[in-house]
Structure 1
Amino acid sequence: MIKSFLLKKTNFRRAVFFLIWDGICLSLALYLAFYLRFDGKIESQYLERFSAYLLVFLSLKYAVFAYFRLYQMSWSYVGFYELVNILKAEATSFLLLQGIVFMFWTQSVFQGFPRSILPIDFLISLVLIVIFRSSKRFYKQILSDRHQEGTKRTLVIGAGNAGEQIVRDMRRQNACPYMPVGFIDDDPAKKGVYIQGVKVHGKREDIEDMVKNLNVELVLIAIPSASSREIREILSVVRQAHVKEIRIIPGLNELVHGNVSLSDIKEIRIEDILGREQASIDRRMVNDFIKGKRVLITGAGGSIGSELVRQVLSFEPKQIIALDIDETELFNLELETGRGGLGAEFSSVVADIQDRNKLESVFNAYLPNLVFHAAAYKHVPMMEKYPEEAVKVNVLGTRTVAEVANDYGVEKFVMVSTDKAVKPTNVMGATKRVAEKIVNGLNASGRTKFISVRFGNVVGSRGSVIPIFEDQIRRGGPVTVTHEEMRRYFMSIPEASILILQAAAMGQGGEVFLLDMGDPVKIVDMAREMIRLNGLEPDVDIEIIYTGIRPGEKLYEELLTDSEGVEPTDHPKIFVGRDSSNNHGNVLEKVKLFEDFIQQKQWAWIRNLLMDLVPSYTLTSHAAHLPNLYEESTEKANEWSDLSRQK
C-alpha cells in the first residue's frame, strides 16, 4: 500500500513537472511564432490578445498531450516510439487549432488571427518539446561516453538488431559496466556507419587492429544466429588480439521474443562452442502429431525428459503427464511449467517404471495417446558396479512401460536411446541395446507403433563431463581426462529433444532413428578450450592429467551396429537404421530370465545373458576385473548355458 502511494506520488510529481515545462515551451513557441511572422515587430492588437491566444493554445495542447499519454512518458528513456507520439500530439493540436481559427476567424478573440502563425507555432513547439523531452537522455548519453571507473571498453561483434539493442541498453542504464567503443560487422555496407553513436569499424579480420587502436578491454559477441563454427573463428581472432574477457548473448533458440538486453549478456561457455545451429523441423507435421493429445513422458525430471516436456508444451497438447521417480525434479518442473502459463493441463506422477501395477493405474487414469520413454540409468562406471540396477531400469523397466503402453492402445511409443548401445563395451550400453530390441519386438504385437531414437552425449546434462571440468577448473585443477584420444559426439539438449519429436512424428513403427551428431570432439581439446574460456592457459595455469580409461568405456562411440544399414529421411539431420538381423522374436522370452538371475544375485549370468542378447557386447580389459561382478566360476557359466537351453 505504501509502495503504491509512493508510486502515485512520483507519477503526480512527474506530470506536474512536465506540465510546467511544457507550458514554458509552448508559451515561448507561440511568442516566437508571432515574432517571426511580424519580423520582430508584433502589432499591438495581437499583443493585447496574446494572453487569450495562449490560454486557448495551452488548454487545447494540454488536453491533446494528455490524450497521447505524454505525461506518462519516462524522461530518461525517450526513444523513437515516444518521439512519434509527440509528433502525433503536435499534429493533432495543429489540426484542431486550424479548425478553431477557421470557425471563429470573423468573430471573438480570433477575429483577423494570422493563419500563418499556426504552422510556425507547430514547428517551433515540436522542436522545443522534442528537445526538452530528450534532454535527460542526451545528458546521460554524454556522461556514458566518458570512461567511468569500473566500465570496460567494449568492442561489439555484430552490428545487427541484437547489437543495436545491446548498445542502446548500455547507453540508457546507469552504472553500466560496459562502454561501447566500436562495432565489428562483416557487412561491407555498414563500415563507417554510426549505430547509437558507435562506429562500425570493419570486418572480423580488423579485430586485432581495433583492439589496439581503441584500447579494447572486453569483446562482446552479439550475433544470436552465429553457429558454433563462427563463434570458434571469432574466438581464435580475439585470442590473437590478447583479449581475455569475452562475453556473448544467447542464441536464437534461447531468446524470449527475439529481444536482447544487458541481462542477457553472459560469459561464453563450452556449450556455445559445441552447441550447433538450432535444428529446423517441420513444425506443421509435429504440431499435427501432438496437438490435442495426451502425452506421457517418463524420466521427465531428467535433462532430456524435462526438455521434452518444454518442447511438447509448445505444440498445444491436451495434457502432459510427467512421470519420474525423483520427486524433487518433478516439483521443480511443475513450478516451471506453472510459471510458463502455456495452457495445456500438466500432471506430475511420482512412480517407478518397474512397478507394473502403478503404471497400469497411471495409464488407466490418464489414457495417454503418446509415450516418450526417457527414463534410464546412463552413467557407465556406476552401472558397471551395479549391473543388476541397469537391467532393472533399462531392460525390465522399459519392457514394463512398453507392454503397458501396448495393452492400453497407445498410438506411438518413442524410446530415447544412446550411441552406447552400438557395439557396447559396458553394461549400460548393452542394456539400452536390449531395450531397443524389446521395443522393436513389440512393434507388430498390437496397435501401438514402437520406435527408438538414438544419439550421443548432450551438452550440459547432469553428471556429464562439462560440469566436472568446470568444477575442476574452479578449484585450480588439475583437469582429469581419461585418455588423450577419447572422442565423443555432442549435441545440445534442445536440439536433441526437438529432433526426437520430429523423428517421432515421422516414424511408422519398427525404426531406430539416428540423429546427425556432427563430428566427434576430442575430450582433451574440449578441456583445453574450457580452460581458455576461463582466461587461463592449459598446461600452464591448469594442468591436464590422464587417468586411464574407466571400466566399460571405449575411445570412440558409433551410431550403427554391423547388422544395420543407414537410410536418409526427409529431414537432413535424421537417418533411419535398418536392422537386417531380424532376431528380436525371442528377446522378450529371454528377458524374463533376468528376473530370476537378479533374485538369485547371479551377476555372471546377467553378464552372459546380456552377451547372448547383444552378440556385439564385448568386455573391456578394465571391466573384466571388477570385483564381485565378473569373478564367477566356469561352473556357473556352464550352469547358465544349461539353463538357457532349458528355457
Structure 2
Amino acid sequence: MYNLSPFFKRLFKKTVLKRFLFFLISDAVLFSMALYLSFYLRFEGMIPDRYLVHFYISLPLFISIKIMVFYFLQIYRFTWSHIGLYELIKVFMAQTLSSLIISASILFLAYGEPFLGFPRSIFLIDYAFSLIMVEGLRVSKRAYIHARRGTVVEQKRTLIIGAGDAGEQIVREMKTAKDSPYLPVAFIDDDPSKKRTSIQGVEVVGMRMDIPRISKNLDVELAVIAMPSAPPMEIRDVVSYLYKAGINEIRVIPGTKEIISRNISILDIKRIEVEDLLGREPIEIEYAEIERDLKGKRILITGAGGSIGSELVRRISQFDPQLLVLLDFNETALFHISREIKERYPYLSIHPLLGDILDKEKMGVVFRNFAPQVVFHAAAYKHVPIMEDFPEEAVRVNILGTEILGKLSYKSGVEKFVFISTDKVVNPTSVMGASKRVAEMVITDLNHQQTTRFVAVRFGNVLGSRGSVIPLFQEQIRQGGPLTITHPEMKRYFMTIAEAVLLVLQAGAMGRGGEVFVLDMGEPIKIYDMACELIRLSGLEPEKDIPIVFNGIRPGEKLFEELLTAEEGVEPTGHPKIFKARIKETFSQEFLFRKIEELKNFALLQDAPSIITTLKEIIPTYTPNRLSKLS
C-alpha cells in the first residue's frame, strides 16, 4: 500500500509561500464577511434587493484594493507568530489607507450606475469589522502558539547587522528555535546589491549609516552583529552607529575560529564585550604544528585554575593529549576547571593536583609519578601593588618556584618547558616585573642543560583576567561609579585571554630552546578610552551617568609599558606577529645563582630593602619607585 505520510509532510510543511497564500486567502474571506456584515447591520438584518446588488458589485473592489494595499505595505511578509505592537500598527495603517481609497473610489462613482445611492455608512462599519477581523486572526495565531507551548517568552525586536551566511543562519534559528527571545525585524548590510532583498522573510533595509533612522522607524530594542569574520575596527564602527541610535543592548556572534566546523545557533549569541572592540587583527595560528607538539603527550599545567592557566587547559584539551595534570593551590579554582574539562571531554585523562610549587618534595613526587613531557608554567604572583608590599612573596613564587620547576624538568627529562612572562619585565619599575625578569634569566640559563627546551613568552595585559582593570571597572559600574583611573594618559598593551593562550601554544610548538618570544601587540590603548567603552556597553554615558576620577599612579606602575628595550631589539620568526627578543646577558651562571641564593635568604628574613637592592644588582635597568617606603 502506498505510504501517504511523506506526501502530507510535504503538503503541510511551513514555507514562506504557504504562509503568504494562507493569509491572503484568509483575508479575502474575512473582507467578504466584513462587507456582508456591514450591509446586514446597516439594514438591521433585512438587506433590500437593491442594496444586495451593491454588495455583490462592490465586493471585488473592496477585496482587491485591500489586498493590494496590504501587499504593498508588506503585511504578508510578517511572521505573525511573533506579532507585536509594530505589526498591529502596520495593519491599522494598511486598513485605514485601503478604506480611504475604497471610499474615494465609490463616492466618485456614486453619481451613476451601478453605485448610485451606495450607503456611506457602509465605509465606516466595514472599516471597523475588517480591522477587528484581520488583526484578530493574527493575534489569535500568536495566542494559540503560546498556549500550545505553555509559556510566553518576551521577544525583543532585533536588528541583524550583516546579511551574509552567518546572518541568514542566525535569523533562521531565531524563527525556528523554541522560546527564542529574538524577533528579527530587519537586516543591515553595506552591500548595496542586497538592499530590498528578503532573507528568511526579513528584508535588508539599508547600510550601517542608516541604523539610527531604521532603528527609530522599526522600534528596534536589540541588535545582533552577525559578522564573525569582521575585524574589531569594523565592529567598533558598527557599534558607534548603534550607540547613536540609542541601542544599548548589543549582541555579537563569535569569530569564525570559535565556531569552525559547525553551524551557528542562537546559543552562540553573546553580549558584546570590550574585547570585541579592540582594534587588533586576529592572530593566525598553525594548528597542525601545535597538534604535533601536544597530541598524545603528558602535559603539566601550573596555575591551572588561573585566568591564563584555565584557558591553557581548555585549549590543550582540544588537541587530544595523553594526560593533563592540573596543578594549583587554589582548591575552588582547581575544582571548577577540572569539573568543566571532565564534563566537556569525558574520555580525556585528567588529574587535578592541589599543591604549592614551592613544595620541592611534593613537586618531585609529581614529576616522578606523572613524568610530564611538556610543562606550561603559568603559576605566578602578578598583582603589581601587592607585590610592592610583599616583595618576599614575589621572590619566593615567581623566582624560586620557577627555579624548582625548571630544575625538576631537566632532571626528569621533560621535552619542553614554556614559561609565561610579562611585558613588565622590560625596564622594570615594579617588584613583580623584576621578579619575572629574573625568572626569565633562570629558565634561559637552564636551557644550557640541553635535556629540556626552555622558552618564555611575554604578554601584555590580559583582558578580563583576575585582578585586571576590566573586572574592577565592571564592579565599579555595578555600584554606580565612580571609575578610578590612575592617570588620564595611562596606556597599556592588551590582548584577550584566547590570544594570549594561542601565543603560548604557538611558542611552545616553534621554540627550540632559549628563546624569549614577544607578540606584536599593535598599538597601546588608553585606559581612559577603555573605561568609556565599558560604560557605554553597560547602556550608560561616561561622565554623565558614571563619573571617572583620577587617583594617581600607584607604586611600581609606569605610564607606558614597553615590550622590548632598544638594547634588546627583535628577530623575526616564522610567524608574522611573533618575534624573538635579542637578549644579551652580561653575567655568569655563578653570579645569577649566587644572587638568587641571597634573594632566598632575604625573603626568609622578609628584608624588603635588601631584596630591592639585590634585584637592582641583577637587573641594572630596574628603577624601583618606592625605595623611600621600604628603607
Q: Does 1:61 align with 2:3?
A: yes
Deviation at residue 263 of structure 1 after TM alignment? 3.5
Q: Is the 8 A contact 1:353 1:401 kept in 2?
A: yes
Match of 2:410 in 1: 406
Match of 1:45 in 2: none
Match of 1:316 in 2: 320
Match of 2:80 in 1: 142
Match of 2:141 in 1: none
Residues 1:453 and 1:79: Cα distance change in structure 2 (over 3 Å): farther
Match of 1:513 in 2: 517
User: Which string of whole-angstrom CA distances, capped at 9 and with x for unpartnered residues, describes residues 314-366 of structure 1?
Assistant: 22211111111112211111111111126432111112111111111111111
Distance in 1 separating the partners of 2:322 and 2:177: 43
Residues 1:140 and 1:584: Cα distance change in structure 2 (over 3 Å): farther
Deviation at residue 487 of structure 1 after TM alignment? 0.6
Q: Is the 8 A contact 2:78 2:201 kept in 1?
A: no
Q: Does 1:624 align with 2:627?
A: yes
Match of 1:592 in 2: 597
Q: Does 1:608 align with 2:613?
A: yes
Match of 2:530 in 1: 526
Deviation at residue 186 of structure 1 after TM alignment? 2.3
**Match 1:436 to one of 431, 435, 440:** 440
Deviates more, 1:277-286 or 1:365-374: 277-286
Q: Is the 8 A contact 1:275 1:459 kept in 2?
A: no
The 5 A counterparts of 1:455-534 are: 455-534=459-538
Distance in 2 separating the partners of 1:296 and 1:411: 12
Q: Is the 8 A contact 1:324 1:349 kept in 2?
A: yes
Q: Is the 8 A contact 2:302 2:328 kept in 1?
A: yes
Match of 2:458 in 1: 454
**What amino acid maps onto 1:617 in structure 2?**
Y
Gaps of 5+ in 2: 17-75, 89-153
**What amino acid maps onto 2:81 in structure 1?**
L
- SS at structure 2 position matched to 1:500: helix
The 5 A counterparts of 1:127-206 are: 141-147=79-85, 151-173=155-177, 176-206=180-210
The 5 A counterparts of 1:74-85 are: none
**What amino acid maps onto 1:604 in structure 2?**
P
Q: Is the 8 A contact 2:363 2:405 kept in 1?
A: yes
Match of 2:295 in 1: 291
Distance in 2 separating the partners of 1:543 and 1:584: 52
Q: Does 1:555 align with 2:559?
A: yes
Deviation at residue 179 of structure 1 after TM alignment? 2.6
Distance in 2 separating the partners of 1:451 and 1:263: 38
User: Which string of whole-angstrom CA distances, capped at 9 and with x for unpartnered residues, describes residues 123-156 of structure 1?
Assistant: xxxxxxxxxxxxxxx9993232544795433221
User: Which string of whole-angstrom CA distances, capped at 9 and with x for unpartnered residues, describes residues 588-610 of structure 1?
Assistant: 22201122212233221111111
Deviates more, 1:436-445 or 1:239-248: 239-248
Q: Does 1:360 align with 2:343?
A: no
Residues 1:411 and 1:379: Cα distance change in structure 2 (over 3 Å): same
The two structures, once aligned, show a CA RMSD in angstroms of 2.5
Match of 1:11 in 2: none
- SS at structure 1 position matched to 2:448: coil
Deviation at residue 216 of structure 1 after TM alignment? 2.8
Deviation at residue 289 of structure 1 after TM alignment? 1.2
Deviation at residue 449 of structure 1 after TM alignment? 1.2
Residues 1:510 and 1:347: Cα distance change in structure 2 (over 3 Å): same
Distance in 2 separating the partners of 1:584 and 1:299: 30
Q: Is the 8 A contact 1:514 1:574 kept in 2?
A: yes
Residues 1:582 and 1:317: Cα distance change in structure 2 (over 3 Å): farther
Residues 1:471 and 1:275: Cα distance change in structure 2 (over 3 Å): farther
Residues 1:234 and 1:276: Cα distance change in structure 2 (over 3 Å): same
Deviation at residue 232 of structure 1 after TM alignment? 0.7
Distance in 1 separating the partners of 2:293 and 2:157: 50
Residues 1:151 and 1:327: Cα distance change in structure 2 (over 3 Å): closer
Distance in 1 separating the partners of 2:340 and 2:14: 35
Distance in 2 separating the partners of 1:500 and 1:277: 18
Distance in 1 separating the partners of 2:427 and 2:364: 34
User: Which string of whole-angstrom CA distances, capped at 9 and with x for unpartnered residues, describes residues 410-454 of structure 1?
Assistant: 111110000011111110000000000001111112311111100
Q: Does 1:325 align with 2:309?
A: no
Distance in 2 separating the partners of 1:258 and 1:251: 12
Q: Is the 8 A contact 1:402 1:439 kept in 2?
A: yes
Q: Is the 8 A contact 1:224 1:252 kept in 2?
A: yes
Distance in 2 separating the partners of 1:483 and 1:422: 21
The 5 A counterparts of 1:540-551 are: 540-551=544-555
**What amino acid maps onto 1:619 in structure 2?**
P
Q: Is the 8 A contact 1:563 1:581 kept in 2?
A: no
- SS at structure 2 position matched to 1:233: helix
Deviation at residue 584 of structure 1 after TM alignment? 5.2
The 5 A counterparts of 1:6-405 are: 59-62=1-4, 65=6, 141-147=79-85, 151-173=155-177, 176-255=180-259, 257-274=261-278, 276-341=280-345, 343-405=347-409
Deviation at residue 218 of structure 1 after TM alignment? 2.6
Distance in 2 separating the partners of 1:464 and 1:79: 50
Percent identity reads 51
Distance in 1 separating the partners of 2:568 and 2:522: 19
- SS at structure 2 position matched to 1:564: coil
Q: Is the 8 A contact 1:275 1:492 kept in 2?
A: no
Deviation at residue 483 of structure 1 after TM alignment? 0.6
Residues 1:453 and 1:606: Cα distance change in structure 2 (over 3 Å): same
Distance in 2 separating the partners of 1:445 and 1:589: 18
How many residues are paired up? 505
Q: Is the 8 A contact 1:314 1:342 kept in 2?
A: no
Distance in 2 separating the partners of 1:79 and 1:613: 74
Residues 1:184 and 1:310: Cα distance change in structure 2 (over 3 Å): same
Deviation at residue 482 of structure 1 after TM alignment? 0.7
Distance in 2 separating the partners of 1:79 and 1:500: 49
Q: Is the 8 A contact 1:253 1:278 kept in 2?
A: no
Residues 1:160 and 1:342: Cα distance change in structure 2 (over 3 Å): farther
Match of 1:131 in 2: none
**What amino acid maps onto 1:557 in structure 2?**
E
Deviates more, 1:399-408 or 1:233-242: 233-242
- SS at structure 1 position matched to 2:539: coil
Deviation at residue 193 of structure 1 after TM alignment? 1.2
TM value normalised by structure 2: 0.76
Q: Is the 8 A contact 1:300 1:374 kept in 2?
A: yes
Deviation at residue 167 of structure 1 after TM alignment? 1.8
Residues 1:390 and 1:442: Cα distance change in structure 2 (over 3 Å): same
**What amino acid maps onto 2:595 in structure 1?**
K
Deviation at residue 276 of structure 1 after TM alignment? 4.2
Gaps of 5+ in 1: 1-58, 81-137, 632-647
User: Which string of whole-angstrom CA distances, capped at 9 and with x for unpartnered residues, describes residues 273-329 of structure 1?
Assistant: 138444221122111111221111111111111111111122221111111111221
**What amino acid maps onto 2:249 in structure 1?**
E
